[in-house]
């Protein structure tokens, strides 16, 4: 029964664009891989890569370099997008935040091989992280993990195993796959993306961004994850924001820039300014804001060991300059609305979900009766 239920949850979680929004071609002049129809920009330092994963698939990634950047953003996108649709946003975020940025397609998305699954996404983000370390010399303490909606799953899975990360951003995150469909009170072994159990293990600062009018993943998911963080940063609850339009609100980029600027300061300076709501909040000892990590009832999946060795923290002094004028960019923010058909915004699939949801509900009720007996 668990395999069936888990497969059902996976079907709800993954909606790769079909056909993919891009093709991979080799530029005859340079011999480099490029995304078609996105021509290589002469004034932009970017690379398209193919990365092998430990599960035997090969994923496509894009790396955008910003001159003199001291942070690197590793972006895990939503469930109904690929890096072709995200490409212009990646460039804009790199410029506006003054960071290097790597985005990647999950197995089975875009031109990545294989099929999408929870375990494959964990291997996919590990491959991207490994590439940052080995190909670009990026240190763990310089990396900010960014997960949007379903991308919060691989993001938190990796963050829970990397103790020296600079920071984590959760954009419209989910508590778990099953909790999106049904308000269960405990973690079942057949659930996927058990973020609620992993977020207390993350040791770095965490920013949560969620729309108050999200019709796909209720804002309560983001709020509960924020309450469970060890090291909270002032969250952004976008008033009236839905699931796929938060980038269009001015507060989104403003708050994100402030967060990046804050985490790029030295640890000693950062710790000394926690009294301000514009800096990190101390983890509250009240039971209203802290819960001990839940023990998952899934006994089949053993915790993965940390994939990185401890490193000495490098202290950076960094000033974030004002680059708000989007006219300097090749593409304005209004084009994001067309390219951002991301994570679980699948109204057309809701008809079939009703039937499958009833099956999941009966499965959960059955387990509850067993536990009660």
CATH number of the domain encompassing residue 30: 3.40.50.1820
Tell me which residue range forms the domain holding 133.
2-372
* C-beta contacts of 286-289 below 8 A and 24+ residues apart: 288/227, 289/227
pLDDT, one tens digit per residue, over 37-51 is: 886 676 778 999 999
- Of these residues, 82, 142, 191, 214, which one is catalytic? 214
Which pTM value belongs to this model?
0.74
> Based on the structure, what is the number of domains in the chain?
1
Asked if residue 37 has a cis previous peptide bond (ω within 30° of 0), the answer is yes
Give me the DSSP letters along 77-96. --TT--HHHHHHHHHHHHHH
pLDDT, one tens digit per residue, over 224-239 is: 999 999 999 999 999 9
Phi, psi of 143 (to 5 degrees): -105, 135
Q: Cα–Cα distance between 343 and 278 in angstroms, integer? A: 29
pLDDT, one tens digit per residue, over 78-114 is: 999 999 999 999 999 999 999 999 999 999 999 999 9
Nearest to 8 by CA among 155, 172, 188: 188
Is-contact 152 119, C-beta < 8 A? no
Q: What is the pLDDT of residue 10?
A: 62
Beta pairing, strands 45-52 & 58-65: antiparallel
Q: What is the pLDDT of residue 8?
A: 54
Nearest to 246 by CA among 180, 170, 174: 170
Phi, psi of 32 (to 5 degrees): -90, 150
Question: Has residue 120 got a pLDDT over 70?
Answer: yes
Please state, rounded to an integer, the average pLDDT across all residues of the chain.
Answer: 78
Q: What is the pLDDT of residue 236?
A: 97
Mean pLDDT of 196-215: 97
**What are the Cα distances from residue 347, in Å, to 15, 242, 353?**
12, 13, 10
Q: How confident is the model at residue 31 (pLDDT cuts 50, 70, 90)?
A: confident
Question: Has residue 217 got a pLDDT over 50?
Answer: yes
Phi, psi of 327 (to 5 degrees): -65, -25
Nearest to 87 by CA among 340, 346, 343, 344: 340
CA atoms within 13 A on the CB side of 319: 2
- Of these residues, 46, 149, 342, 363, which one is catalytic? 149
- For the purposes of burial, counting CB atoms within 10 Å of the CB of 36, is it exposed (0-12), middle (13-18) or buried (19 or more)? exposed
Question: Has residue 56 got a pLDDT over 50?
Answer: yes
User: Which residue, chain included where needed, has tokens 């109204």?
Assistant: 347
Nearest to 80 by CA among 45, 105, 58: 105
pLDDT, one tens digit per residue, over 128-169 is: 999 999 999 999 999 999 999 999 999 999 999 999 999 999
Q: How confident is the model at residue 279 (pLDDT cuts 50, 70, 90)?
A: very low
Q: Of 198-212, 261-275, 294-308, 309-323, where does mean pLDDT reach its minimum?
A: 309-323
Q: Cα–Cα distance between 273 and 269 in angstroms, integer? A: 7
Q: Cα–Cα distance between 97 and 324 in angstroms, integer? A: 10
Beta pairing, strands 205-211 & 231-233: parallel
Mean pLDDT of 173-196: 92
Q: Cα–Cα distance between 101 and 98 in angstroms, integer? A: 9
Q: What is the pLDDT of residue 28?
A: 84
Residues near 2 by beta carbon (within 8 Å), at least 6 away in sequence: 189, 190
- Of these residues, 171, 221, 243, 255, which one is catalytic? 243
Q: At what angle do helices 2-13 and 350-372 cross, to 10 degrees?
A: 150
Question: Has residue 288 got a pLDDT over 60?
Answer: no
Nearest to 145 by CA among 89, 88, 202: 202
Nearest to 225 by CA among 240, 216, 215, 235: 235
Annotation marks residue 197 as catalytic = no
Nearest to 94 by CA among 134, 146, 167, 34: 146
Annotation marks residue 214 as catalytic = yes
Annotation marks residue 149 as catalytic = yes
């Amino acid at each position: 029964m668990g395999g069936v239920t888990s497969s059902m949850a996976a079907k709800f979680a993954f909606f790769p664009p079909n056909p993919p929004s891009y093709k991979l071609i080799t530029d005859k002049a340079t011999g480099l891989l490029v995304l078609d129809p996105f021509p290589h920009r002469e004034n932009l330092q970017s690379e398209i890569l193919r990365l092998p994963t430990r599960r035997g698939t090969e994923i496509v990634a894009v790396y955008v370099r910003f001159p003199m950047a001291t942070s690197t953003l590793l972006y895990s996108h939503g469930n109904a997008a690929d890096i072709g649709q995200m490409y212009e946003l990646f460039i804009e975020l790199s410029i506006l935040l003054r960071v290097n940025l790597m985005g990647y397609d999950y197995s089975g998305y875009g031109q990545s091989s294989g099929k999408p699954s929870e375990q494959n996404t964990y291997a996919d983000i590990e491959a991207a992280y490994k590439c940052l370390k080995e190909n670009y010399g990026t240190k763990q303490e310089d990396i900010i993990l960014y997960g949007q909606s379903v991308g919060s799953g691989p993001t938190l899975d990796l963050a829970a195993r990397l103790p020296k990360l600079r920071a984590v951003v959760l954009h419209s995150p989910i508590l778990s796959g099953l909790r999106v469909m049904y308000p269960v009170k405990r973690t079942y072994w057949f659930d996927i993306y058990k973020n609620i159990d992993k977020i207390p293990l993350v040791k770095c600062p965490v920013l949560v961004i969620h729309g108050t009018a999200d019709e796909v993943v209720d804002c309560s998911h983001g709020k509960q994850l924020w309450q469970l963080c060890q090291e909270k940063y002032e969250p952004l609850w976008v008033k009236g924001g839905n699931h796929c339009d938060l980038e269009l609100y001015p507060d989104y980029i403003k708050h994100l820039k402030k967060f990046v600027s804050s985490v790029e300061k030295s640890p000693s300076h950062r710790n000394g300014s926690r009294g301000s709501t514009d800096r990190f909040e101390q983890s509250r000892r009240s039971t209203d804001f802290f819960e001990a990590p839940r023990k998952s009832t899934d006994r089949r999946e053993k915790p993965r060991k940390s994939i990185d060795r401890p490193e000495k923290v490098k202290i950076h002094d960094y000033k974030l300059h004002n680059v708000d004028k989007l006219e300097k960019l090749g593409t304005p923010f209004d084009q994001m609305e067309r390219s951002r058909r991301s994570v679980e915004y699948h109204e057309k699939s809701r008809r079939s979900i009703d039937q499958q949801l009833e099956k999941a509900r009966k499965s959960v009720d059955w387990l509850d009766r067993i536990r009660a007996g």
